[in-house]
Structures are given as C-alpha cells and as structure tokens.
C-alpha cells in the first residue's frame, strides 16, 4: 500500500522566502542591538533621566524673608514656618473615599481637587497653602501616595493694625504687596535655593542627593520708627477720630534733629495679619499718598518769606479791620474782626487778612520759592511707594487773589508728611533734612532754607499760638514749652468748597528751648459739632507729644504748672478759611 501525501505539505515553498524572512529577523535584531548600544553606550542620558524621574525630584528651598524691626530692634514683621499641602499628580494613588476625606480636611471641593490630582502632565501642584501644623499633620495621616507637605513661610505682623499702613503685607508667595514690604522687596525677599532629593511612592523624602543652590535669606530692615511712640500716636488718633465721628485721620511724628520718622499712623486701619478680605480704601497710607489743603498751618511760611524779604518785622502792624479784605471781586474774611495786629499776632490769632496782605507785599516768585524749598510741590523722597508731590502751581500764572489765598493754605495741596517735614525749618535754625523711614546712623546733610534769625522769630510766634489768647491752648504739654499752628480749612469738593465739611489740623514741636519732636495731626471731616483745629487736632498733638517726650527722656524746659487753659466761658479764638 503506497503512502498518502497531504497536499498542503506537498507544496514546495520558494527558497527566497526563507532567506527574506531570515534577513528581516536579522535586520530587526541588528536594529535593536544598535538602539541598545546607542542608548546604553553613546547616549545613556535619556534612560538615566527616565529612571530618575521615577524617584528623583528637584525641590525649591524657600529663603526666610528678612525681618522688619523698629529702631530699638522690636519686631514689626517676621516670617514663621508653615506647611503647605502639595502633590505630584503622576505619583498620586487615591481612592474615592480618601479624596473626599482630603477635600474635607482642605476645605475644598472634591471634584476640583480630583481634577488637580488627575493632571499627570504636571510634576507639582499646590492643594492648599500655609496650613497650621495640626491641620497639616491630619493630611499626612491619610497616607496618600504622591501627596506631601512643602515647607513655606508666612508673614506675621506683631503690631497688627497699629503699623499696617507703614509695613504693608505680602501675598501667599511671600512677595511684598504694599507699603515698605513692597518698597524693599528686593532687600527683604532673598533668593530661592534648590536641592535634589529621592522620594518614595508616598512623596516623602528618603534621601538628600545634592544641594544645587543654597537659598539666600533676606536682609533685616531696621526702620526709624519707634514702636512705643507709634502705638501712642495710633491710640490717640483713633480715639480722636471716634470722638469727633470723623471720616479719617492721620498723624506723623518726626525727630527734629535727624529727620527720621518716629511714627506714622492712619485711621481707619486694617489688620495686616488677616488678608482674606481687604478693602483697598483702608490699605493706602493717607499720610503719604493723600493730599489736602493745609489751611492756616501754611501761614508761618508766608510770615517767614516776608521776614526773609525784609518787608515786615515781628512787630510790624497790619490793619485787618473791618474783618473783610476785597481783592477784585473776591473778599477775604477773618472768622471774627481783629483790628490792628502785629505780625506775631497774625500768627497767634490766625488772621487770613494779615497773611494775605503780607503775601501781596511779596513778589510771587519769592513766596513760591520758599514753598518750593521746604518741599511743597515735590515728592518727599522718603522711599515709601506711591508718595505724592502735592500741588503747587508755577508763580507765573498766579493772580493776586490766588497769591493771597495761598498765603493761608488755599489753592495749594500737600501731604501730611510734607507738612510735618516742612516744619523742621522752624524746629531747627532754618535747616531742612530729608525725611526717612529707615534708621540713620548719622543725620543726613541739611539744607539752609531760612536764616536762623527768621526761624527763631517764627518759633516765638508759634509758641504764642499755643498759649492762652492763641488758637491752640489745648496743645500745651505739662512741663514743656510747645509751639505750633492750627488749621481749619473747608474741604474742596469739585470746584467749590463745601460749607459744612472741614479738615482740622495742627502742626507743632517741643520743647521750644531745644526742639526734639515735630508732630503733625490731621482730622478729616469731624462731625460731632467741633471742627476747629485747636479743638479737634491740638489735643491729639498734646497727648502724643507728652508721651513721646517722656519715652525719649527729654528734659522738661518749663515748670510743671505751666499749662494754663482759658476759662470755660472765655470766647474761643476762631479761625476758618
């Protein structure tokens, strides 16, 4: 019986097909061998990077932001370590129940949190910033792979609202947003560092591999501010604004010898430690960024210009009767008829007519020149962000009525810092130093603005204004001679002055024998009945000056019974412009 052959097995394949298949397999083998040689021998960086990406991470090292201290090294801004919850989405392994628990701990939406964790194209994502330690510990206890803690620093302000307008605040990334935190950002911020680490599947660091760049901590900033005087100034200002139901208020205290700002406060304020809901209207430093017409506090500069020019002396007599003075179609008035006054009495009684007549006796460029030299119309260059230059129009365009009204502080706008600094020429022998918020090791060079004789003459007039018979007896301080000037100005609304809205102010210094402090107070729109600067702003000056001189251990220059207030039934020496 012959064997039967299966037909498919009987088919004879062409020899070239076997050779082709062998060649194809050999080619693939050579290609794979070549690729392996290329990756492992010639270019192994790729495999190295791919391998390291599974366990190696480069993390940022945050520097500690520089501290802000007062002149006596009291902390005004410090950074405290906090923990932020972060994740590496590619490494996250999380069950639905864990996601819900994590969302509850972080007080966030579970769906939104899930979207963040599902974005595996990102190597790093914050889930919540700056948690208290106990909350961060509860997150770690969940044991979710790929979710870990990142050390950061949160800014803390020990004085809170007392220094808020001065210091400002930082954002969640530690960058300065307002005030001195913004102005000195580069100095305070420092520089980020970085290091390479090995992390396990839970996102926890198990080994430091290398330090790539060490962080550089920010520098300490030491201010000219005295924290005790700052608190005193804020407390008295806040009480006055509340008592007079005022819209706002500001105060500046300057060291007369150096030009250093020892205190600067505004009301209303805000808590810089609670930055969740900040009203932008509360965050600006009104003492530096807002303008107002200074009113009668400008009269001493008009008198100084006239004394310098030789057109008057302290005993020159100026007729202010009958209490009205017509210039063209406009009429200047005093709050009450005063009759014939010496130049000293013009300051003591705050006569608008007396100041206007002295101003009109000067060339416009003479009056403008003194205003400009004391810093009106130019920024004070204190280093504070947003400081304004004020408004002082060029003298070439002045009309006689404008020159007259400018003599008593209408038609010119200044900041409270500008006004306080300008009074340095009367507290010294006519010298003006730059104002600064940073402590100086030595006083800055001073510019001689007026002669010592002129400065001393105006100083004597300002002392009369703070005594019985003047506009500010409530500015007196027990044991010290004080000098200063009140201001009561109608507020400008649009192109007209509001008949029932005022800015009440007082600027002065003490002790007169050797001035140490200059204090400027401004109360915006007092609405409790009183509005004269002598009744509203002068008492704030008195309290702050008394406390400030005691804190600085300044020796008294008057007997302890020197304060003499007018009798309750005595007519008030009024002023109004």
**Torsions phi, psi of 262, nearest 5?**
-90, -20
Specify which of 84-88, 144-148, 314-318 reaches the highest per-range mean pLDDT. Answer: 314-318
Least confident of 36-50, 109-123, 334-348, 491-505: 36-50
pLDDT value of position 48: 59
Is residue 248 located within the same domain as residue 235? yes
Local confidence band at 411 (pLDDT 50, 70, 90 cut-offs): very high
The enclosing domain of 70 has a CATH number of 3.90.1310.10
Local confidence band at 43 (pLDDT 50, 70, 90 cut-offs): low
For residue 437, being part of any structural domain is answered with: yes
Mean per-residue pLDDT, 495-503: 89
pLDDT value of position 201: 53
Is residue 479 located within the same domain as residue 537? yes
In the predicted structure, residue 295 carries a pLDDT above the cut 90: yes
Give the structural domain span for 356: 227-272+281-551
pLDDT value of position 96: 86
Mean per-residue pLDDT, 285-311: 96
Strand (E) or helix (H) holding 490: strand 483-493
pLDDT value of position 4: 59
Work out how many domains the chain is built from and give that number. 2
Local confidence band at 549 (pLDDT 50, 70, 90 cut-offs): very high
Residues 6+ apart with CB under 8 A from 470: 348, 349, 464, 534, 573
142: its two tokens: 């969940």
For residue 49, being part of any structural domain is answered with: no
For residue 346, being part of any structural domain is answered with: yes
Is residue 253 located within the same domain as residue 216? no
In the predicted structure, residue 507 carries a pLDDT above the cut 60: yes
Beta-strand pair 447-448/483-493: unpaired
Closest to 55 in 3D by CA, of 123, 121, 116 = 123
The enclosing domain of 363 has a CATH number of 3.40.710.10
| CA dihedral sign of residues 118, 124, 126, 132 | positive
Q: How many residues belong to the chain?
A: 577
Provide the 8-state DSSP code for 569: T
In the predicted structure, residue 482 carries a pLDDT above the cut 90: yes
pLDDT value of position 204: 56
User: 92 in helix, strand or coil?
Assistant: coil
Is residue 388 located within the same domain as residue 405? yes
Mean per-residue pLDDT, 463-472: 95
In the predicted structure, residue 51 carries a pLDDT above the cut 70: no
Is residue 239 located within the same domain as residue 216? no
Closest to 303 in 3D by CA, of 486, 455, 512 = 455
Give the integer Cα–Cα distance in Å for 442 and 538. 31
User: 518 in helix, strand or coil?
Assistant: strand
For residue 432, being part of any structural domain is answered with: yes
pLDDT value of position 373: 97
pLDDT value of position 76: 97
For residues 77 and 181, the answer to whether their CB atoms sit within 8 Å is yes
The string of DSSP letters for 265-314 reads EEES---TT--SS--HHHHS-HHHH--B--GGGGHHHHHHHHHHHTS--T
User: Residues 182-238: pLDDT tens digits?
Assistant: 999 999 998 888 776 665 555 555 555 556 778 889 999 999 999 999 999 999 999
For residue 157, being part of any structural domain is answered with: yes
261-276 residues labelled b (16+ CB within 10 A) or e (exposed): bbbbbbbebbebeebe
For residue 17, being part of any structural domain is answered with: no
C-alpha triplet 432, 541, 253: angle, nearest 5°: 40
Local confidence band at 127 (pLDDT 50, 70, 90 cut-offs): confident
Is residue 201 located within the same domain as residue 242? no
pLDDT value of position 299: 97
For residues 277 and 283, the answer to whether their CB atoms sit within 8 Å is no
Is residue 301 located within the same domain as residue 191? no
Is residue 481 located within the same domain as residue 526? yes
Give the integer Cα–Cα distance in Å for 270 and 280. 10
Q: Which of 296, 407, 415, 542 is catalytic?
A: 296
Is residue 379 located within the same domain as residue 266? yes
Mean per-residue pLDDT, 309-322: 95
Residues 6+ apart with CB under 8 A from 132: 82
Mean pLDDT estimate for the chain = 89
User: Residues 66-105: pLDDT tens digits?
Assistant: 999 999 999 999 998 888 888 888 778 888 888 888 888 8
Local confidence band at 33 (pLDDT 50, 70, 90 cut-offs): confident
Give the integer Cα–Cα distance in Å for 455 and 427. 8
Is residue 237 located within the same domain as residue 375? yes
Is residue 329 located within the same domain as residue 375? yes
Least confident of 61-65, 234-238, 526-530: 61-65
Please say if 296 is a catalytic residue.
yes
Is residue 170 located within the same domain as residue 264? no
For residue 140, with 0-12 CB atoms within 10 Å meaning exposed, 13-18 middle and 19 or more buried, which class applies?
middle
Q: What is the CA radius of gyration of the chain?
A: 37
C-alpha triplet 573, 482, 165: angle, nearest 5°: 95
In the predicted structure, residue 44 carries a pLDDT above the cut 70: no
pLDDT value of position 31: 81
Local confidence band at 18 (pLDDT 50, 70, 90 cut-offs): confident
pLDDT value of position 469: 92
> Between 352-360 and 299-309, two packed helices, what is the crossing angle to 10 degrees?
40
In the predicted structure, residue 555 carries a pLDDT above the cut 60: yes
> Between 538-551 and 227-243, two packed helices, what is the crossing angle to 10 degrees?
160
User: Residues 380-410: pLDDT tens digits?
Assistant: 999 999 999 999 999 999 999 999 999 999 9
- What's the whole-model pTM score? 0.85
For residues 145 and 93, the answer to whether their CB atoms sit within 8 Å is yes
């Amino acid at each position: 019986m012959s064997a039967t052959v299966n037909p498919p097995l009987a088919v004879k394949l062409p020899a070239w097909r076997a050779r082709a298949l062998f060649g194809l397999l050999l080619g693939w083998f050579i290609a794979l061998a070549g690729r392996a040689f290329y990756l492992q021998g010639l270019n192994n960086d790729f495999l190295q990077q791919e391998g390291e990406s599974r366990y190696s991470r480069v993390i940022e090292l945050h520097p500690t932001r520089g501290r802000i201290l007062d002149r006596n090294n009291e902390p005004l801004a410090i950074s405290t370590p906090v923990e932020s919850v972060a994740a590496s989405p590619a490494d996250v392994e999380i069950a639905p129940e864990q996601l819900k628990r994590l969302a509850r701990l972080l007080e966030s939406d579970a769906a939104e949190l899930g979207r963040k964790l599902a974005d595996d194209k990102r190597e790093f994502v914050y889930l919540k910033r700056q948690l208290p330690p106990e909350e961060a510990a509860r997150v770690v206890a969940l044991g979710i792979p790929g979710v870990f803690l990142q050390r950061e620093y949160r800014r803390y302000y020990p004085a809170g609202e007392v220094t808020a307008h001065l210091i400002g605040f930082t954002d969640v990334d530690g960058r300065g947003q307002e005030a001195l935190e913004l102005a000195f950002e580069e100095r305070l911020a420092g520089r980020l560092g970085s290091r390479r680490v090995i992390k396990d599947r839970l996102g926890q660091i198990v080994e430091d591999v290398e330090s790539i760049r060490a962080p550089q901590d920010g520098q300490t900033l030491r201010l000219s501010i005295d924290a005790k005087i700052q608190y005193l100034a804020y407390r008295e200002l806040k009480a006055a604004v509340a008592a007079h139901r005022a819209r706002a208020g500001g105060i500046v205290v300057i060291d007369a010898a150096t030009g250093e700002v020892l205190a600067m406060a505004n009301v209303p304020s805000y808590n810089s430690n609670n930055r969740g809901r900040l009203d932008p209207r509360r965050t600006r430093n009104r003492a530096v960024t807002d303008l107002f017409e200074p009113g009668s506090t400008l009269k001493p500069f008009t008198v100084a210009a006239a004394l310098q020019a030789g057109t008057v002396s302290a005993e020159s007599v100026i007729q202010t009767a009958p209490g009205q003075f017509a210039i063209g179609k406009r009429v200047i008035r005093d709050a009450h008829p005063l009759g014939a006054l010496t130049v000293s009495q013009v300051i003591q009684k705050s006569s608008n007519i007396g100041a206007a007549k002295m101003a009109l006796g000067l060339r416009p460029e003479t009056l403008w020149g003194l205003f400009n030299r004391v810093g009106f119309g130019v920024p004070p260059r204190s280093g504070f962000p947003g400081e304004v230059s004020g408004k002082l129009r060029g003298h070439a365009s002045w009309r006689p009525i404008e020159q007259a009204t400018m003599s008593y502080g209408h038609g010119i706008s200044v900041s409270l810092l500008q006004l306080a600094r300008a009074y340095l020429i009367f507290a010294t022998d006519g010298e003006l130093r730059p104002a600064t918020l940073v402590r100086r090791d030595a006083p800055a060079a001073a510019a001689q603005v007026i002669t010592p004789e002129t400065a001393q003459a105006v100083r004597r007039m300002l002392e009369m204004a703070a005594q019985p018979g003047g506009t500010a007896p409530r500015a007196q301080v027990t044991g010290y001679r004080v000098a200063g000037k009140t201001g009561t100005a109608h507020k400008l609304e649009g192109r007209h002055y509001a008949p029932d809205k005022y800015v009440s102010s007082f600027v002065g210094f003490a002790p007169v024998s050797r001035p140490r402090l200059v204090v400027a107070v401004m109360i915006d729109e007092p609405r409790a009945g009183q509005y004269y600067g002598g009744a509203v702003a002068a008492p704030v000056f008195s309290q702050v000056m008394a406390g400030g001189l005691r804190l600085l251990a300044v020796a008294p220059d008057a007997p302890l019974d020197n304060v003499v207030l007018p009798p309750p039934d005595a007519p008030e020496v009024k002023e109004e412009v």
